[in-house]
A and B are shown apart, each in its own frame.
Chain A
Amino acid sequence: DVVLTQSPLSLPVTLGQPASISCRSSQSLVHSDGNTHFNWFQQRPGQSPRRLFYKASNRDSGVPDRFSASGSGTDFTLQISRVEAEDVGVYYCMQATHWPHTFGQGTKLEI
């Protein structure tokens, strides 16, 4: 199975400051169809998860542009340019290139 390793697992931040989360895969996430089926999710307290990015760097509708995502192959990054209070929650990376689909451990972002 593909192992996704997120860092850090805990991310204390100051409002208005940037934040960055890394996700490293145990194998390439480039699919035979040429796409990289890699996603970032946010789960706020008490809410269902919400997808932020798909195919490594494509922002979902409604996601603020202070969020950005990059990466390819085995190394991926989620960045927040200026953290706001509503960004508190747990962030997960997830790969859907290989079966079984797998998630990173989650990064808890707190103010």
Chain B
Amino acid sequence: EVQLVESGGGLVQPGGSLRLFCAASGFTFSNYWMSWLRRAPGKGLEWVATIKEDGSEEYYVDSVKGRFTISRDNARNSLHLQMNSLRAEDTAVYYCVRNGQNWGQGTLVMVSS
């Protein structure tokens, strides 16, 4: 069974940093592109970033370019999102997603002073 378990969310002040983790199991992690998506309170879903199977390509939504970095460790079956210079508008539940088909339960990031 495919499982994606996110962690690392929490409350952070504007301008601060957080690093999200996603532990993957139940499939060959290194064979799949992986993504982070989010849903802000009262808003719709938003794609944030995607990384290729071997980590050689990364794509980001414009609003996070230069602030967020997606990475992966295929040896440890884990996906990461380093978030710097956080803003109030980054407040959201962040989901780790495989191929659009499998989603984790999400981790809440709140950016507030």
Binding site for B on A (CB under 8 A): 1, 39, 41, 43, 48-51, 54, 60, 90, 92, 94, 96, 99-106
Contacts and interface: CB of A to CB of B under 8 A. Distances in A.
Interface in B29-70: 37, 39, 44-47, 50, 59-62
B47 A102 contact: yes
Given A48-B95, A100-B59, A106 B44 contact: yes
Given A103-B46, A106-B44, A48 B61 contact: no
Interface stretch (B14-22, B74-82, B96-104): B96-104
Contacts of A104: 44
16 contacts: A43-B39, A48-B103, A48-B105, A48-B106, A49-B45, A50-B103, A51-B101, A54-B100, A54-B101, A60-B101, A94-B100, A96-B100, A100-B59, A100-B61, A103-B46, A104-B44
The 10 closest A-B pairs by CB, nearest first: A101-B47, A106-B44, A48-B103, A103-B45, A100-B61, A99-B59, A51-B100, A51-B101, A92-B45, A39-B100
Interface of B: 37, 39, 44-47, 50, 59-62, 95, 100-101, 103-106
Contact of A43 (B45, B100, B104): B45
Contacts of A43: 39, 45
Contacts of B104: 48
B87 to A, nearest CB: 18
Contacts of B59: 99-100
A24 B23 CA distance: 35
Given A43-B45, A92-B44, A49 B50 contact: no
Contacts of B39: 43, 49
Contacts of A106: 44-45
A49 B95 contact: yes
B40 to A, nearest CB: 12
